[in-house]
Every structure is written in C-alpha cells, then in structure tokens.
Structure 1
Amino acid sequence: MMVTAIDIRVERSSAPPLKRLVTIAALTATLGGCVTFTPNGGMTPVSSAVTEAIGKDTVKIASTADAVNVQSRVKALLAKPLTADAAVQLALINNRGLQAEYNALGISEAAFVGASLPPNPVIGVERLSAGPSLEIERRVVANILALLTLPARSDIAGKQFAAARQKAIEATFRTAAEARRAYYRAVASRQTAVFLEQARVSADAAADLTRKLGETGAAKKLDQARASAFYAEVSNELAQTRLKVGTDREALTRMLGLWGADLEYKLPQQLPAMPRIQTSQQVEADAIRKRVDLIAARLELDAMAKTLGLSDATRFVSMLDGGWRGNYERSTEDGVRESSSPRGFELEIEIPIFDGGEVKVRRAREMYMQAVNRLMEKAVNVRSEARAAYLTYRGSYDIARQYQNSILPLRRTINEQALLEYNGMLIDVFELLTTARESIETNIAAISTKRDFFIAAVDFETAIIGGGSSSGDGPAATADAEGSAD
C-alpha cells in the first residue's frame, strides 16, 4: 500500500469557531499586498514611452466613449491627404490587432493582482445521516503554503507584468513601423503609376507620329513596329504597376484598420522630399539601452530567477493545507438531543517519498539557463541588427541622393539631346526609343531607391528602439523581387 499523505487532527481547542475565522482573515489580510487595478489597464507607462520615442499617442478602446472619440479622430485624419505621420497616428488608435495587444497587457495586470491576493479560505459543510442520527461537519481550510509564498509570487507576477508592458510598447512600435512602411510602398507605387501614365502618353504620340510618317513613306515599317512595341510595353508595365498600387493600398488599409466609407482616403502622388541624414556614433549602445524587447527579456529573466528561488524553497512541500473543523450531531432517539463533537485543526502534508522536489528544481534551473542564453543571443543580435540597419540606412541615402543629384539630371540632358538630334535627322527612331526606354527605367529606379531609403530609415529606428524589422525590405530584396517578377 502506497502512503501519499498524513491526516493530522488536534481534537481539542478552546477558541470559538468565529474567533478562528477572524484570525485566519486577519492573517490573510496581513500577508496580502496593496496591489490594485490601474484605471486604464496599465496603459499609462505605455502611452508615455510611445509619446517620448516616436511623438505619437495611443489609446486603448475600453468603452463606448473611447470608441466614439477614436472614430472622431479617424474622420479628422482622413479629411485630407494622408502624410506618413498621420498614417502612423491613425494606425496607433484604430488598428484592432494593436488593441488586442493592449488587452493582453490587461490580462497580465489581472494575473499580477491575482497573484498579489491571498488565497480565499474554503468553507466546507458535510451532512451525514445514518438512521435516526444526523451528523454535520463544518470545515474552514486555508492554503498555508500559498500564504507563505505570497510575497515571492507577487514579486514574480510584478516582473511579468513589467515585461508585458514592454511587450505592449514593442507591439506599438511594430504597428507604427509597419504602417509607415506600408505608407511609403503605397505612395511609391502611386508615383510610379503616375510617371508611367505620362510615359504612355508620350509613347502613344510617338507611335501615332511614326505611323503617319509611314503612310507618307518617311518612316520604315520597322520603325513603325518599334514605336508600336514601345507603346505596348509601356502600357503593359503601367497595368502591372496599377495592380501593385491596388495591393499596396490594401496593405496600408489593413494597417490603418479602415473599412466601409473610410476606404476612400487620399494619398499624395509622390514621396516626400529627402530629409537630412541622421548620424550616430553609438548605434550599439543606443540599441542595448533602448530596445524594448531586450528590456522585456531582462525582466522575464528576473522573474525566472525568482521562480527558481521559490522552487528551491518549496521543493519538499507541494501542498500544505490547514484549517478549522467542527462536527455537530443531532439524534432523535428517545427525544431530541443535540451535541457538538470535539473541535480542532487538520493539517495535510504530502510526504516526498518518490519525488523530493528535484524534478521541479532541475526543470526550473534549465528554464532559467535557457532564458539566460536567449538573452545573451538577443543582445548579440541586437548589436548586429543596429549596425546593419545603420549601414543600410546610410547606403540607401547615398544611392537615392546619387539618383536625385546626378543620374536624373543627366538623363534629362540625354533625352533633350536625343530629341534634338532626331529632329535634325542625326539619329533614327530606334535610338530615340532606346533613349526613352532607358529614361523610363532610370526614373522608376529613382522612385524605388527613394522608397527604399524611407523604409531603411524606419528599419534603423526600430533597430534602436524596438518594434521588429521588415523581412525582405532592403534594396537587395526589392531588386530580387522585381527581377523575379520580370
């Protein structure tokens, strides 16, 4: 027969039951902390950190009044063409995925408050009847182990709640970054489409002119075919770009959380002007100090360390319940007789015969070392990500500036000279169309490099403060994607 528990009873006690209940309640209140729910579910530190880092505010929609206020702000932001900052602000107040992250923060706060409260005492009443006899057993049980470990458990839950706040901040940064990237992609696609529409008009005019010259015998059939093919190629490229305009706009719409009548928002026709380059000599140090995911990992490691300490302290006791119990008996034999049985305490202790707690301790230690290694890995990755993001940011700036300051002006000069020489009959239609094709490719590449710079700027910011990096958003990835599409 395997023995798993011992039932210890003290049969006599002079203190009345009510007094014992008051004593247990007083002990519970003494051990309990003063942790209470915050008015906004822990959002105040999140809002402050977001405002300080990116200059935007965020709102948790927790009531009908909040929803009405948010909808009013959405209408005001959509009343005029969106800027990148307006798109970010719109996403931070209207993205429902972000609202779900704030709900997760509220759940963590509830867990923190719950861990800070002593366990509720359990009151049991048992009624046994055998013939004319009736026995009523009353029991008040309190989990003594839970009371003794209450401060440690509350401290651990507090660390986990602090980590949850950092995760909510990171989710906010990520939403802002993704909204900004989606905005730049949508505007760049629209700018490319506008340029190709103008190019198609010019190609149509050239094809029509060549066709008329062919009717008079001034243009060969080969030249007419080349002009018509050029017009068809530009038209096809415009159709592909319009498709991309639609998909990029829908990606932005999802980030902004818009639907229904709000889908008719306006975007500018071109990307904003290039800003001045940001220089930083302490990229790694800034990232290690500011990255919210690294801060959250540190807090989780602290919580894990405290959990290991709690496991060591309680390795030999997994359940210890204590409480007051009393019996009341009534018999109807030879009249009515009522009596109370002896009262006392009952303790239940699990004896560690087969598992002395080593399993729990070993598991906690391995989990702790796993968290340590994950944190060290993250610190190494954060440094590398910050360096790579800055290199991409600076390189993208130089490339985009080269297009704006040198390549595009040279292309305009080439186009003007080619047209003059064609009018002077120094070159044929083939050379003129080739020059036009090269000019179109250069202008599209200039728009793409400018978009890549703005996205690299977003990636650089998230590499410093947190919020994740976009996968496959760099210039090389963009070129690969465009090459595969061709």
Structure 2
Amino acid sequence: MKPPIRNHADSRLAVPAKRLSLIGTITLALGGCVTVTPDGGMQPVAQEVAAAISKETVKIASQADAADAQARAKALLNKPLTAGTAVQIALLSNRGLQAEYNALGLSEVDFVEASLPPNPTVTLGRAVVDGTLDVERRIIANLLALLTQPTRRAIGELRFEAARYRAIDGTFRTAANARKAYYAAVAARQKVNFLEQARASADAAADLTRSLGETGAAKKLDQARTAAFYAEVSNELAAARLEAGTTREALTRSLGVWGSDINYKLPSELPRLPQRLLSQQTAEADAIRKRVDLIASRLDLDALATSLRLDQATRYASAFELAGLSRFERSKVDGIVEKTSSAGHSLDLAIEIPIFDLGETTRRRAVETYMQAVNRFAEQAVNIRSEARAAYLTYRAAYDIALAYRNKIVPLRRTVNEQSLLEYNGMLIDIFVLLTTFREGIDSNIAAIGAQRDFFIARVDFDAAIQGGGSGPGAAIRVAAGQ
C-alpha cells in the first residue's frame, strides 16, 4: 500500500478553495487596464518636441526603425548642414538620446507593474498518516499590497509622467548640444579660411621683403620682421586647423554618426546676425511655466508625497497577509479509495505587532525626506529664474558685442589696413608699423568670428533656460524619491 501524504501549512497565510472567487473578484476590481504601449510612451514626447522645436524624434525599437532613421539621416547628410538639419540628424541618430527613451520605457513598465494587483501564491501538499492521505491546498495573498494597490498605481503614474518630461528634457538637451557644436564647428572653419588668406598675404609680404633685401632696398631687420610675421600667422593657422578638427569631432559625436557619414559638409561661415532680439519681458515667467525639468521635478515631488503618505498609513502594519486553507483526507486500501472526508476549512490573518518600533522612526524619516525634496524643488525654481535672467543678459551682451565687431571694429580695421598700406607705399611709415597694423587687423577679425559664434551659442542657452535642455538640479528630488 502506498503511504498517504499530509501537507503542513505555511505559517503565513491560506485560503480555502471556496474563497478563491472572492479574492479573484477583489483582484479584478482593484486591478487596472493599464498596458505597455507599443512605442514605450513616446507619443506625448514626440508631440511636445514637434510643438517646441519643430523637429521630429523617434524611438528606435527594431531593425526597421533603425534602417528608416538611418536613411532619413543620410538624406540630410548629403546636403550642406544647417543648424536645423544638424538637430534633426541628432534626433534620428544619437544613441544617447535613445537611451533616454529606453529609460522612459522602463518607467512605463514600472507604472504598468504598479497598476497590477500582487500575484497570489498557490501551494499544494499531502501527507500520509496511518494509511490516510491528507491533502492540503493553500492560497497566500498579500492583503496589504492588495489594499494599497490604487495608491501604488497613482505613484507609478506620477513617476511615469515625470519620466516623460525627463525624456523631453533629454531631447531638448540633445538638440541644444547639436546646435552649439554646429556653431562652434562652423566658426572654427571660418577662422581657418580667414587665416589661410592672412597667411597668403604674409607670405607675399615676406617674399617681397626678401627680394628687396637682395637688392639692398630692405634692411635685414625688416626681412626678419616679415618672416616672423609669416611664421606667427602660420602657427595660428595650425592651431585653428586643430580647433576645426576637434570641434568637428564634437559635432560628429552630437550627431551620433560614424563611418562614411562623418564626411558631411559644413558651410564656410556662420549665419548673419538677426535684425531683432527676443524679448526679456516674460522670460522668468515662461521659464517657470515651460521648463520641462521643473515640471518633472514637480511630478517627482508629488509622487514622493503620495509614497510617504502611504508609508504613514501602513507604518503599523508592515506585514499583513491573508491566507485560506482547504484540507481533506482520502484513505486507500489496496489501491482502492475507501473514504474521502473534509478535514475542515480555515482562514488565517498575520499581522506584525508593533511592540518595539511604534512607527515613529518611519514617520520622522518621511517628514525629513519630504522636506528635503521640497527644499530642493524650491531651490531649483529659484535657480531657474536666475538662469533665465543670466541667459538673457548673456544673449543680449553677446549680440551687442558681435554687432559692434561687424558694424564698427572690422570696417575700421579694414580702413586702417588700407591707409597703412598706402602710407607704406608712399614711404611714410616703415615695415614695423605696417606689420603691427596687419597683426591688429587679424586679431580683430578672429575676435569678430568668435563673438558671432558666442552670440549663436548664447541664443541656444537662452532657449534652453526657457524650455529646458540645460543642466539642472532636478535629480536631487528623484534621489529623495528613491528612484
């Protein structure tokens, strides 16, 4: 005769078979219909990006997506780049941005998981006692997790919404970095072109002075000065070429391209300065209203508040589980079932009793954690206002400086050079004065290119200060929230 088996109950929880329908009903009532979206929550992100910067962003989730994005990027790379096309290529090709979108997808998964009730645990057991088979069936469910599921879902939804705004902020940051890298690369190339022309002029002057020296019409000192001038300009050109190479590589990294795609074409000079500037009147208010990193921090703060309220409500019942137990006995003699009888049903409830820790430490931790996050958020709001003001000051000053170079300094330097050459040809000044004048003209033109570049970069920073895409302290709130 095969010995019967009896299963002994877990000390935590158990549910009788007849009560399964009750727990199932509660589970379905508390559970939501939230599911993972095919695009990982990208649709609101793409809509916001299109409305804010008029560019399209996509999440690459398959080989087909990657092939489509690469084909579109290649079509743009086949033409000379503009600041706008550089941004669009970066949004299609930059894999760091794709990692931001993966973080959004993970946050959506967390939200869906938080919206689901906890899975029950089913155990089956049997035991043999004096020829009797004792069968035990058990379902264990975490009742506390089941009852707090709506709150956990609300927290997950807030964190998912915050993740969306962080993805938008990451997109704006990628776009801003691409624009700034573009302006730096074009300015470096423009500087190279100017210094190549200056070196050609210095070379001609050195050859002429050397020829005059052979006839005795130029002193050795003048020959040395022109040769030194040529060598210095050549050295500046070498440094400018190095800068052009490194800034181009920085742009390549921002675009996220490689292989043959790095042979894109850049314009030879920066765009012209705009006729009018943006207004400062609503800069602070717009920054507080539009900054996506501040919105994300606000949502993180709300999620933290909801989470801490949940901790406050459950601090006296850290372990709260419900179990139902169904047991019956079955006897066998010579392989024939002689009798099946119910051994009864039971319902067990396990609660942790707060004898030593009454929850005061949990309450104090919640208060300090929340107030820390509130202070971080307030600091971020104050800093954003200041950043908006400082960005506008930089933007305005950079425009005035670039405009002064374009309208005054460079034209005056051109006149000085022309008049100095005329006076040198009339033997009114010597070669030292002429070369000094040329040197000052070169420096002014190089500074003018740098000022023009700085203005366009300041414009990008000003936009980032209003809508997001810069670097902010919002991560401190997420750390406090335990994310």
TM norm. shorter chain > 0.5: yes
1:428 corresponds to which of 423, 426, 430: 430
Residues 146-204 of structure 1: CA deviation (Å, up to 9, x unaligned): 11111111111111111111111111111110111111111111110111111111111
Provide the rounded CA distance (Å) in 2 between the counterparts of 1:22 and 1:260.
Answer: 61
Cα distance, 1:361–1:423 mapped onto 2, change above 3 Å = same
Q: Report the counterpart of residue 303 of structure 2 in structure 1.
A: 303
Scaled by the length of structure 1, the TM-score of the pair is: 0.91
SS in structure 1 opposite 2:323? Answer: strand
Task: Look up the equivalent residue of 1:297 and give its one-letter code.
Answer: S
Q: Report the counterpart of residue 56 of structure 2 in structure 1.
A: 57
Judge conservation of contact 2:94–2:255 (CA < 8 Å) in 1: yes
Is the deviation greater in 300-309 or in 433-442?
300-309
Judge conservation of contact 2:183–2:453 (CA < 8 Å) in 1: yes
Cα distance, 1:24–1:303 mapped onto 2, change above 3 Å = same
Q: Report the counterpart of residue 280 of structure 2 in structure 1.
A: 280
Could you tell me how far 1:59 is from its partner in structure 2?
0.4
Task: Look up the equivalent residue of 2:69 and give its one-letter code.
Answer: V
RMSD of aligned residue pairs (Cα, Å) = 1.9
SS in structure 2 opposite 1:225? Answer: helix
Alignment of 1:168-183 (within 5 A): 168-183=167-182
User: Where do 5+ consecutive residues of structure 2 fail to align?
Assistant: 1-9, 473-483
Residues 306-353 of structure 1: CA deviation (Å, up to 9, x unaligned): 112111211110121113222344455687545442122122111111
Could you tell me how far 1:217 is from its partner in structure 2?
0.2
Cα distance, 1:434–1:9 mapped onto 2, change above 3 Å = closer
Alignment of 1:39-438 (within 5 A): 39-129=38-128, 134-275=133-274, 276-332=276-332, 336-339=337-340, 340-438=342-440
Provide the rounded CA distance (Å) in 1 between the counterparts of 2:88 and 2:441.
Answer: 37
Is the deviation greater in 347-356 or in 283-292?
347-356
Judge conservation of contact 2:328–2:344 (CA < 8 Å) in 1: no
Scaled by the length of structure 2, the TM-score of the pair is: 0.92
Judge conservation of contact 2:13–2:350 (CA < 8 Å) in 1: no
Provide the rounded CA distance (Å) in 2 between the counterparts of 1:134 and 1:71.
Answer: 67
Is the deviation greater in 386-395 or in 307-316?
307-316
Residues 269-291 of structure 1: CA deviation (Å, up to 9, x unaligned): 11111113112211111111111
Provide the rounded CA distance (Å) in 2 between the counterparts of 1:133 and 1:356.
Answer: 47
Could you tell me how far 1:22 is from its partner in structure 2?
2.1
SS in structure 1 opposite 2:436? Answer: helix
Cα distance, 1:120–1:208 mapped onto 2, change above 3 Å = same
Task: Look up the equivalent residue of 2:248 and give its one-letter code.
Answer: R
Is the deviation greater in 393-402 or in 273-282?
273-282
SS in structure 2 opposite 1:341? Answer: strand
Provide the rounded CA distance (Å) in 2 between the counterparts of 1:191 and 1:279.
Answer: 30
Is the deviation greater in 230-239 or in 129-138?
129-138
Task: Look up the equivalent residue of 1:300 and give its one-letter code.
Answer: D
Q: Report the counterpart of residue 457 of structure 1 in structure 2.
A: 459
SS in structure 2 opposite 1:343? Answer: strand
Judge conservation of contact 1:415–1:436 (CA < 8 Å) in 2: yes
Aligned pairs, number? 460
User: Where do 5+ consecutive residues of structure 1 fail to align?
Assistant: 1-5, 471-486
Cα distance, 1:129–1:197 mapped onto 2, change above 3 Å = farther
Could you tell me how far 1:248 is from its partner in structure 2?
0.6
Cα distance, 1:282–1:9 mapped onto 2, change above 3 Å = closer
Task: Look up the equivalent residue of 1:296 and give its one-letter code.
Answer: A
Could you tell me how far 1:66 is from its partner in structure 2?
1.1
Cα distance, 1:469–1:204 mapped onto 2, change above 3 Å = farther
Judge conservation of contact 1:206–1:227 (CA < 8 Å) in 2: yes
Judge conservation of contact 2:165–2:292 (CA < 8 Å) in 1: yes
Judge conservation of contact 1:327–1:342 (CA < 8 Å) in 2: yes
